């Protein structure tokens, strides 16, 4: 697996979690986040406030889920009519990924006409009876952590910390994904996840401590982001890139397949409401480089490519304003 180890920084976010933190400590933390977003679009966070006990139970229940009988998993399969559930046939950049997944969201509800949301599907039997409650608790903690990080990112862009809050208050479209990467007999010719940027605002990733597979591209070269104990990996998505007016860039990343070790990971995708119109938050005398895009429409176009080859995948670059000559 070609690629060097990255120098993506680990940021101690205790000043953001601790109500007694000094203004200086908070400011220093915000500056570290700003630097990481500008240089990598990725960073680790430590002292994040999520308990070891919850993470341990979450990891155990995730393992139990993917070892359920295949017919049970297929009974809760994700479809184009319901985006939540189990699946093993996702396309990224029109290529089949070497992975098995389970998606669920915050609220159970009826299907909408876009087919992007639907109802959560839970297995009827799991070795640990706590599966659904553990997943919901973990989701809630990820949501709270995302809110904290979004406020910090706003401040790092010299904006009011609540500048983006309204985009996430009503029916935000975040979801949690459980990933299982089986052993791959031919890793040189497969990727567990093909290269892509995340479409939404930001992603919080849990990954196994013993397998190094995640890579980020920087300056045309691939760099590994190895697991670091007691941390989460954060990366910014396309919507933050637009809101920041290209000050922060959503990083291109991928996951290598592995023939020796299976791997588990769990990204939490923090996404705005479908009604959100996303545009650069520019200051006076600054020019926006993007036209306004509607998150619901953008996500619908991306979602269609998860199931079939729909040609060129929509990118935020398609919303760039023409450059004046």
Domains and CATH numbers, the chain: 4-319 (2.60.120.330)
Task: Give percent of the chain above pLDDT 90.
Answer: 69
**Model confidence band, residue 325 (pLDDT cutoffs 50, 70, 90):** very low
pLDDT of residue 10: 98
Q: Which of 8, 287, 35, 21 is nearest to 153 (CA)?
A: 35
Task: Give percent of the chain above pLDDT 70.
Answer: 87
The answer to whether residues 236 and 164 touch, using CB atoms and an 8 Å cutoff, is: no
**What is the average pLDDT across 304-316?**
73
The encoded tokens of residue 314 equal: 């929509």
Residue at token pair 């109802």: 119
Q: What angle do CA 122, 126, 130 make, to 5 degrees?
A: 80
The answer to whether residues 39 and 7 touch, using CB atoms and an 8 Å cutoff, is: no
247-260 pLDDT, tens per residue? 999 999 998 888 88
Q: Give the C-alpha distances (Å, rounded to integers) separating 214 from 192, 232, 258.
A: 9, 13, 11
pLDDT of residue 256: 86
**What is the average pLDDT across 214-237?**
96
**Contacting residues for 140 by C-beta, under 8 A, at least 6 apart:** none
The encoded tokens of residue 300 equal: 């619908």
131-186 pLDDT, tens per residue? 999 999 999 999 999 999 999 999 999 999 999 999 998 789 999 999 998 888 77
Q: Which of 241, 224, 235, 230 is nearest to 298 (CA)?
A: 241
Is pLDDT at 2 greater than 70 in this prediction? no
Tell me which of 78, 263, 299, 302 is the catalytic residue.
Answer: 263
247 as an active site residue: the answer is: no
Is pLDDT at 324 greater than 50 in this prediction? no
Does the global pTM surpass 0.75? yes
pLDDT of residue 160: 96
């Amino acid at each position: 697996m070609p690629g060097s180890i990255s120098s993506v920084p680990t940021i101690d976010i205790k000043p953001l979690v601790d109500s007694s933190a000094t203004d200086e400590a908070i400011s220093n933390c915000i500056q570290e986040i700003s630097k990481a977003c500008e240089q990598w679009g990725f960073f680790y966070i430590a002292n994040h406030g999520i308990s070891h006990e919850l993470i341990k139970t979450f990891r155990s229940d995730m393992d139990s889920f993917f070892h359920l009988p295949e017919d049970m998993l297929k009974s809760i399969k994700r479809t184009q009519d319901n985006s939540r559930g189990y699946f093993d046939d996702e396309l990224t950049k029109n290529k089949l990924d070497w992975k098995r997944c389970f998606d669920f969201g915050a609220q159970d509800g009826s299907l909408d006409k876009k087919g992007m949301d639907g109802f959560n599907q839970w297995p009827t039997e799991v070795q640990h009876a706590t599966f659904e409650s553990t997943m919901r608790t973990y989701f809630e903690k990820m949501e709270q952590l995302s809110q904290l990080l979004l406020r910090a990112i706003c401040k790092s862009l010299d904006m009011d910390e609540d500048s983006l809050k309204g985009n996430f208050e009503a029916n935000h479209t975040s979801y949690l994904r459980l990933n299982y990467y089986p052993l791959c007999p031919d890793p040189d010719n497969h990727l567990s996840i093909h290269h892509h940027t995340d479409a939404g605002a930001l992603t919080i990733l849990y990954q196994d401590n013993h397998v190094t597979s995640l890579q980020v591209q920087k300056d045309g070269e691939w760099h590994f982001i190895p697991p670091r104990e007691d941390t989460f990996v954060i990366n910014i998505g396309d919507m933050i890139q637009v809101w920041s007016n290209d000050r922060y860039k959503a990083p291109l990343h991928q996951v290598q397949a592995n023939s020796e070790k299976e791997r588990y990971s769990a990204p939490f995708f923090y996404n705005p409401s479908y009604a959100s119109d996303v545009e650069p938050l520019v200051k006076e005398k600054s020019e926006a480089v993007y036209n306004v895009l509607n998150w619901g429409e953008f996500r619908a176009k991306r979602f269609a490519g998860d199931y079939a080859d729909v040609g060129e995948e929509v990118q935020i670059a398609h919303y760039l304003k023409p450059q004046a000559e």
